[in-house]
Amino acid sequence: MPDDPQWEAPEGSWASSAARRRNMQAIRSRDTKPERLIRRLVHAQGLRYRVSARPLPGLRRTADMVFRPAKVAVFIDGCYWHGCPEHYVPPKTNSGYWSQKVMRNMQRDRDTDQKLKEAGWLVLRFWEHEPSGTCAGTITASVLARRAGLRNS
């Protein structure tokens, strides 16, 4: 029974226990604290953007912030889920599954970057541990530079 704390997930299942499953389901995929803080700082600079939007209609992947006319896609990656070289710690339980999942996430991130760049987008990626002010400053400068380039062409 999944609600029983002694219940173990069947072999090959994504969660090692019902409690782990509940924990993993509670993790936000959007509107994390770092994302909200960076968005607030960028918004304060007068920039407007789409939140959790698809930069390319045919690509089933969303960026945390999308500046469509300037073609800038911003991703704020979680250290665990995206394999931060400084902070990623392999899990102790069901490590094979979770390590493979993180590797797939990293591969998908590189593929997303490539597809967006091929379509003329600027991709900005930040780790959740990076200073929010620094991230917001980079985003603001990049979007303004792209906008200026559009006006000059």
- Residue 8 DSSP one-character state: B
Backbone angles phi, psi at 118, to 5 degrees: -65, -30
User: How far, in Å, CA of 93 to CA of 111, rounded?
Assistant: 28
Cβ atoms < 10 Å from Cβ of 139? 24
* Cβ–Cβ under 8 Å, residues 90 and 99: yes
Cβ atoms < 10 Å from Cβ of 144? 14
* Cβ–Cβ under 8 Å, residues 51 and 64: yes
User: How far, in Å, CA of 142 to CA of 87, rounded?
Assistant: 27
Cβ atoms < 10 Å from Cβ of 31? 11
Cβ atoms < 10 Å from Cβ of 100? 10
Give the model confidence (pLDDT) of 91-126 as tens digits. 888 888 888 999 999 999 999 999 999 999 999 999
Backbone angles phi, psi at 127, to 5 degrees: -90, 150
- Residue 147 DSSP one-character state: H
Q: Which pLDDT band holds residue 3 (cuts at 50, 70, 90)?
A: very low
- Residue 17 DSSP one-character state: B
Residue-range domains of the chain with CATH: 30-152 (3.40.960.10)
Choose between 92 and 19: higher pLDDT: 92
Q: Which pLDDT band holds residue 71 (cuts at 50, 70, 90)?
A: very high
Beta bridge partners of 76: 126
